[in-house]
Amino acid sequence: MTGWGTGVSGKLRLITLFVAVLTLTACSLPRGAAVQSEVLRQQDADNPTFQVIEVTRANVPGLASWAQAGGQGHNHWPLTSHGSNSSVIRTGDRVDITIWDSQDNSLLTNPGQRFNEIKGVEVDAQGSIFLPYVNKVGIRGLTATGAREKIQQRLEPILPSAQVQLSLQQGRDHAVDVVGGVGKPGAYPMPSRNYKVLNLLADAGGVVPDIRNPRVRLLRGSKTYEISAEQLFADGSKNALLQPRDTVIIEADERSFTALGASGIENLIYFPKDYLTALEAVSLMGGLSDTRADPKGVLVLREYPAEVIRPDGYGPKMQQVVFTLDLTSADGLFAARKFQIHPGDTLLATESPITSAQTVFRLIGAVLGASAQAGAIAN
């Protein structure tokens, strides 16, 4: 049996094998992620298609002022205000009217009766109700007390001794809806014009506890407003005054980012709170792989809408931007604690170049070991 030998021919064979192994490993080493230089290679091109920004403590405040990417396009949540503590009558409401009259020959009561009840009178499109002997009485825009006084004034010429009682049953146009995410969803009549969103949530049984970072959405006509429940409960100025026919929806936070590369988790990850920093996002993705990841090459890939492009430096110069983070330096770590992740971002933990080199060395070691074994067998 012929061995590898230790002469010139054996060395040539070994060198040839080394070259073949290096060529093979350089072209087809199995890896879980790209290295940073591969991702950013195009930045040095004459006409790059994306912008690369290194995130530092110095530029984090400026980056934070850029427009939000991946936003929902909702209007700013309305601040609190005050309305009337009394209900105001609207079209579609119904009133129950009781007229008391002590006269024996009253026009509105039968012999032996002292009162007459007129129930369920609906306020029409003109804001009026119909009553016998006085025709129509406009009561829209009045409180129940104001409507009672007006009706009694209209009755005085024909029933000087009459006394009027009135109770209001608010119609559908004087209610608000709460949909999902609460203990008792449904339509809720507004007890007054001072009815606010926290009052509604309390009446509806509160937000159910198993919703991920619950979001409160307010639909008002063609406009949509949104805020997190955490912000709403923490800031009294956010306790918005409701308007008739408002709809409030409680839903889980659907904002997310994508985790890829040499990390513990490669998946779509939902925001667990309102604001998420890069360092918190790295933690949510299971951290960086000790044996594979390049802590100097954590990349955040983001796409901005075309309308926020700013060539003056006060915004992104291109729609597609790659932010680079170096987690091996104090400056990079502090910057990562402040740099915010936006919905729709991709967080990529790149592969360390050392990993590929170690793989090459292991392969060469395996080849050398096989060569030595072969030589020993041959001898």
* pLDDT tens figures, 142-151: 888 899 999 9
Nearest Cα to Cα of residue 126 among 89, 98, 87: 89
Would the pLDDT of 305 be above 50? yes
DSSP H or E run through 355: helix 353-378
Number of H helices, E strands in the chain: 9, 18
Tally of residues, the chain: 379
pLDDT at 241: 93
pLDDT band, very low/low/confident/very high, at 99 (cuts 50, 70, 90): confident
Which residue in the block uniquely carries the two structure tokens 């016998």? 132
Of the candidate ranges 2-16, 55-69, 92-106, the one whose mean pLDDT is the lowest = 2-16
Which domains occur in the chain, in start order? 36-71+255-356 (3.10.560.10), 94-169 (3.30.1950.10), 176-251 (3.10.560.10)
Would the pLDDT of 324 be above 80? yes
State the Cα–Cα distance between residues 168 and 133, nearest whole angstrom: 22
Written as six digits, the tokens of 343 are 């919905």
Helical ranges in 244-303 per DSSP H: 278-284
| pLDDT (average), residues 6-23 | 54
Distance of CA 346 to the CA centre of its chain: 17
- Give whole-number Cα distances, 58 to 14, 280, 301, in Å: 53, 20, 20
Calculate what percentage of the chain has a pLDDT beyond 90: 47
Q: Is 104 exposed, middle or buried (0-12, 13-18, 19+ CB in 10 A)?
A: exposed
Phi, psi of 18 (to 5 degrees): -60, -45
Of the candidate ranges 110-114, 130-134, 365-369, the one whose mean pLDDT is the lowest = 365-369
Would the pLDDT of 5 be above 80? no
Selected residue with higher pLDDT from 78 and 173: 78
| pLDDT (average), residues 9-14 | 56
| pLDDT (average), residues 26-30 | 49
Written as six digits, the tokens of 265 are 């988790």
pLDDT band, very low/low/confident/very high, at 16 (cuts 50, 70, 90): low
- Rounded to the nearest integer, the mean pLDDT of the chain is 83
Would the pLDDT of 330 be above 80? yes
pLDDT at 163: 87
Strand 256-261 relative to strand 346-351, pairing: parallel
pLDDT at 379: 54
pLDDT at 38: 81
Of the candidate ranges 13-17, 189-193, 257-261, the one whose mean pLDDT is the lowest = 13-17
pLDDT band, very low/low/confident/very high, at 71 (cuts 50, 70, 90): low
Calculate what percentage of the chain has a pLDDT beyond 70: 79
Selected residue with higher pLDDT from 12 and 221: 221
State the Cα–Cα distance between residues 299 and 54, nearest whole angstrom: 9
Ordered DSSP codes for 288-304: B-TTTEEEEEEEEEEE-
pLDDT at 229: 94
pLDDT at 26: 46
Would the pLDDT of 75 be above 80? no
Which residue in the block uniquely carries the two structure tokens 């040539």? 12
| pLDDT (average), residues 133-137 | 87
Per the confidence metrics, is the pTM higher than 0.75?
no
Written as six digits, the tokens of 5 are 């030998």
pLDDT at 193: 78
Would the pLDDT of 98 be above 80? yes
pLDDT at 314: 87
Structural contact between residues 233 and 213, judged by C-beta atoms closer than 8 angstroms: no
pLDDT at 30: 55
- Give whole-number Cα distances, 49 to 25, 215, 313, 343, in Å: 30, 36, 17, 22
pLDDT at 9: 59
* Side chain identity at residue 55, one-letter code: V
Nearest Cα to Cα of residue 249 among 177, 187, 196: 177
pLDDT at 361: 44
| pLDDT (average), residues 40-44 | 81
State the Cα–Cα distance between residues 235 and 179, nearest whole angstrom: 23
pLDDT band, very low/low/confident/very high, at 363 (cuts 50, 70, 90): very low
